[in-house]
Amino acid sequence: MPTLACVPILVRSHTDAIAQARTARDAGADLVEFRIDGFFRPNDDTSADEIESIVRESPLPCIITCRAAAEGGFYEGEPDPVLALFDHLLPLPGVAHFDIEASRHKGWAPVGTTASLILSLHDHRGRPADLNRRLLKMRATPGVGVIKLATTARSVRDNLELLDLVRDSDHPMMALAMGEHGLMSRVLAPKFNAFLTFASLRPETATAPGQPTLHDLLHLYRFRAITPVTRVYAVVGDPISHSLSPLVHNVVFEALGYDGVDLPLRIPGGDEAPESLKATLLELIHHPGLDFSGASITLPHKRAIVRLAREQGWSLDDASAALGAANTLVIDRGHPRTPAVRVLNTDAPAILRALEGSIDLTRSPLVGVVGAGGAARAAAWALARSGARVLIANRTPEHATALAADLSGQVRAITLAELVREPLDLVINATSVGMKGGPAPEAIPLDLHAIPFAPLVMETVYTPIETPLLALARSRGCRTIDGVAMFVEQAALQSEAWTGLTPPRALMNRVVREALAG
């Protein structure tokens, strides 16, 4: 049976609950959960009457839940009045399931109806130490229809135990990891044959931390297309919530008819970052049944992934080996027990692809790269290998000198003041200057006015698309290439490495520009 998409609704009034249920139906939900715990008043028949009419008028089959305060809900009372209400609602055909916490269930069962009993367990702090024992007890409970576990994930890895429990369950089951690390358990529910997953109508109506919206579940992650054999991809970094990678890669998978899904996974930065990256990736790669097949690796893990590849004996492409930084993991699962792992740097070739048609690198043009971080390193290396003469200039000149030394004589470091006096054919901004939310969003990384002619100007920054540098360059009559061009190319190369298919670049370009404009 396909995994259901359920929208939880905190009942505040009859009118509001029915309006939300209709919106959920129109947006593609399979069922709704009416959370009556903030509404039901045990000694007041009018609240019970309203709940009954909500069930009668619900446009979708529903779950009725009166979540106890002890498990994260609003209901502070005893279980008996709730069970009495459930008895009263039993004959109504609209109720598909009654949810009761295993700790408060008292042997109640929906006898004589088609509705089933969801026996649930919630832990908003972590995972109960005796989870397996409690699960066994839930499975052995007479009358149980569906088992629900909701624990709190402290890392990406905590999803995997829950997904395994679902896959191995002899009862219909759902197991949801709450919190920012829990997205995997929610989106991959169909891959592990979970009974349902929850998705909110809007971020602010989520009833548990980490719940995706129904729109994201159905359209961004293509929940209905996920099956037990769907390949899983991720963008890994910190922060990661605003990454455009899942949007772009999922659109490409759909356009190519490729059975894959791409998710954001936050692996925290800081002192522990390399160890967390290693532990998480190794567990994902070797997890049976996850079909983890690749990842986009972003800050702060771009260098650590190369060190990990060297330690694990994974293959490195020329760019990652030379630059000591990479942004792509490819896992060939041809031999499931011994997957072959490749690490690539698609940033470097993406810069060349973005320049194609605008400059002939074989004619040894003079290129000024501004910056000395990862993007500058990729640009300088790729351009020098393609025949350009490369000058590097940076706010901190020593960093430019060190980068030039690392690239062993292929490029030359000069100061920013000297750079603008050179007869440059191309200038590339490879600093974070001009980036929204960055260190200097309104600034321009070099004195373009001092250049007496109009070189081609390329940005790596893509938020915003039109940076102050690009605006100035255009006003001075320069041809320009924005940062989206590089972003699309590095993603297209990743997609090609993962799928073996030619990605729809024009579509990717449109999707990214639309997302950035919105």
Contacts with ligand NAP, residue ranges (CB under 6 A): 347, 371-376, 394-396, 399, 430-433, 435, 439-440, 445, 460-462, 483, 486-487, 490
SS (H, E, C) 455-514: CEEEECCCCCCCCHHHHHHHHCCCCEECHHHHHHHHHHHHHHHHHCCCCCHHHHHHHHHH
Which CB atom, from 179 or from 397, has the smaller least distance to ligand NAP? 397
Using alpha carbons, select from 293, 274, 297, 275 the residue that is nearest to residue 285.
293
Q: How far is the CB of 97 from ligand NAP (least distance, A)?
A: 46
Which CB atom, from 94 or from 374, has the smaller least distance to ligand NAP? 374
Residue 151 near residue 178 (C-beta atoms within 8 A): yes
Q: How far is the CB of 238 from ligand NAP (least distance, A)?
A: 14
**Both structure tokens of 25:** 């139906």
Which CB atom, from 354 or from 361, has the smaller least distance to ligand NAP? 354
CA–CA distance, 130 with 464 (Å, rounded to integer): 49
Q: Which helix (H) or strand (E) holds 32?
A: strand 31-35
**Both structure tokens of 203:** 């971020």
**With left for phi above 0 and alpha for psi between -120 and 50, is residue 193 left, alpha or beta?**
left
CA–CA distance, 15 with 358 (Å, rounded to integer): 59
Q: How far is the CB of 354 from ligand NAP (least distance, A)?
A: 8
**With left for phi above 0 and alpha for psi between -120 and 50, is residue 222 left, alpha or beta?**
left
Q: How far is the CB of 401 from ligand NAP (least distance, A)?
A: 11
Which CB atom, from 285 or from 433, has the smaller least distance to ligand NAP? 433
Task: Please identify the residue of the shown chain whose CB is closest to the bound ligand NAP.
Answer: 373
Sequence-distant (≥ 6) Cβ neighbours of residue 79 within 8 angstroms: 68, 100, 104, 105, 106
The alpha-helical segments, DSSP class H, found in 394-439 are 397-406, 416-419
Q: How far is the CB of 377 from ligand NAP (least distance, A)?
A: 7
Q: How far is the CB of 320 from ligand NAP (least distance, A)?
A: 14
Which CB atom, from 87 or from 447, has the smaller least distance to ligand NAP? 447
Catalytic residue among 137, 148, 191, 302: 302
**With left for phi above 0 and alpha for psi between -120 and 50, is residue 420 left, alpha or beta?**
alpha
Catalytic residue flag (residue 106)? no
Using alpha carbons, select from 438, 243, 459, 469 the residue that is nearest to residue 351.
459
Which CB atom, from 190 or from 483, has the smaller least distance to ligand NAP? 483
Query: Distance between the two ends of the chain, CA-based, in angstroms?
Result: 37
Write out the catalytic residue numbers. 302
